[in-house]
Amino acid sequence: MGLYSLAIRWRPEELRSLAFGAVAASYTALGGPMDNSVINYKISNLTDANILVSYDGVNDHDVVAANGFVLYDVASNKGKGDILALTKGAQVYVKREAGAPASGNVYLTVFYASNN
């Protein structure tokens, strides 16, 4: 048995994206729900407008500046014997903060822990 055979593996989910024209004045889902409990994720706003982020599709929870990103490393804040994660099935929503973006995309990069 090799040194790394018992390691927990860091695995990506498929990249989620939303084109600038779909970033509306009301919340739109950024891809589908999480397929796994997520330990790290990044929202990259490569549009030319600020976006707001929501986890319930109603309330504003965060903002990502135009041509900026935010990285969430939720597993780094684990409790004793537990891992803090964004739950399987969670959904991320985005909307424009003010004016509509004229170019670019918004991306959601997701990673989860796996035993295989």
pLDDT score of 1: 47
3 falls within a domain: no
1 falls within a domain: no
pLDDT tens-digit series, residues 36-77? 999 999 999 999 999 999 999 999 999 999 999 999 987 765
Using CA atoms, how far apart are residues 51 and 65, in angstroms rounded to an integer? 7
Contact call for residues 34 and 68 (beta carbons, < 8 A): no
- Domain range for 75: 10-114
34 falls within a domain: yes
43 falls within a domain: yes
29 falls within a domain: yes
55 falls within a domain: yes
pLDDT tens-digit series, residues 76-100? 655 555 667 889 999 999 999 999 9
5 falls within a domain: no
Contact call for residues 18 and 110 (beta carbons, < 8 A): no
Report the CATH number that the domain containing residue 15 is assigned in CATH: 2.60.120
Task: Look at the chain and report how many structural domains it folds into.
Answer: 1
Using CA atoms, how far apart are residues 49 and 26, in angstroms rounded to an integer? 15
pLDDT score of 72: 92
4 falls within a domain: no
Q: Which pair of tokens denotes residue 50?
A: 């600020």
